[in-house]
Structure 1
Amino acid sequence: MSDDTQTYARTDRTTPTRYRDRAVWEREAIHAILDSAYICHLGFIADGAPVVLPTIYARVGDRLYVHGSTGSRPMRGAGADEGLAVCVTVTLVDGLVLTKAAFNHSVNYRSVVAHGTAHQVTDPEELAVAVDALVDHSVPGRSDDIRRPTAKELAATAVVRLDLDEVSAKSRTGGANDDEEDLGLPYWAGVVPVTTVHGTPEPHPSTDVPLPAYLTDLHR
């Protein structure tokens, strides 16, 4: 990444072959997308075959922490000295783009694709930072309002680290793009916005404390 331009370096793997005008490498834009989603997809090769797993993640600076299961294939691979070659993707859907012809239907979206070598987090201090980040990524401020993990719990927690070196974002915005000859057809065309809405928090029966401010803000 260039310190002067605050952009990630373009590589063959982070340059799309279609709609290159939709791709960006700006650090701020990429971080904004990563910070807005909840689920990533972790891709890797296991036993000669591709595997893609959905899981939670968090960003700390120019680093992703991806949660996994102790003893799982990606954790075993990332635990090796050479690490594990991975591809991590995150996608946000902003709208359904409906056109008068089936061929031109599309989706408004924002996405990030990151390539690199993942390593298992084994240092207790870094693991504690990663666990806090994973908790706060879903609900900012939550890690300061819960019991801290014990040493035993941290030892049973599996997290891999991926440095954001080879990464890009891609998005589509705007309305329906119908062909000229289809504009007069008697079909509805336009965009159906898609948003994520947080519902009213539902307390557990054992909860006898007021709703924390960070949850009130999240609901709003």
Structure 2
Amino acid sequence: MKSLYQHSIRLLSTLLSLVSADACGIAADALFKDAEITYDCLKSIPFHQEESKQLAVSVRHYLSCYSAGTYFQHKPCPELDLPDIDINGTLSKIEDRIKKNQYKSDYDVGKDFVELFGSVKDGHVMFQLVCTSGASVYQHDYPLISVAASPDSIPEIYIAQFNASVPRPDEKVLKINGEDAVRYLDHMAKNGILGTYIDPYARFNQLLVQISGGKWGVGGFATR
């Protein structure tokens, strides 16, 4: 998988060489970066066609070892609440766009690769580039927590307020972007690219604040 490593290193080198550009210069100088500035910086990284071709070859070799690939294509288990996923077909479309030089930036082709791997929600098969894991840490100020008033009541969604590093429910969340909060999170758990669990309930819980290794994290909704 040498070319995967080389691609990430080249991407990072290109990013560093662009610090004089407006967006990248601002992002490089700021400890806490505005999301729009960071996005503009990533989008300014030029598309490298030949290296992307090499990356696609390596990804296809990698995915040829993924025996569960055909399992997802025909959705044999509706309980998983996953869409049909044609891994080889999607990869072929990415390869075709690379060959036709249709990508405008390195970020765009990297995003397609990451979304391809994220579509299967399988933490055993992951793919990350500098632009998605390393260049910046993405987080907003609205982590969510799910709390039920009693053992036999339906949990509701709240903004999590951390007191002494322990999350407590604060304001109740009824809607997110104008949509019912639970429905929005269900859709995100099903179609988002950050989930690493096959089980739909585990994917939903990944979006909420969670504890791991004795430390609380803000969850996938706040770091998407």
TM-score (norm 2): 0.22
Structure with the higher fraction of residues in strand conformation:
1
Higher relative contact order (Cα pairs below 8 Å, separated by 6+ residues): 1
TM-score (norm 1): 0.23
- Report which of the two structures shows the higher radius of gyration computed on alpha carbons: 1
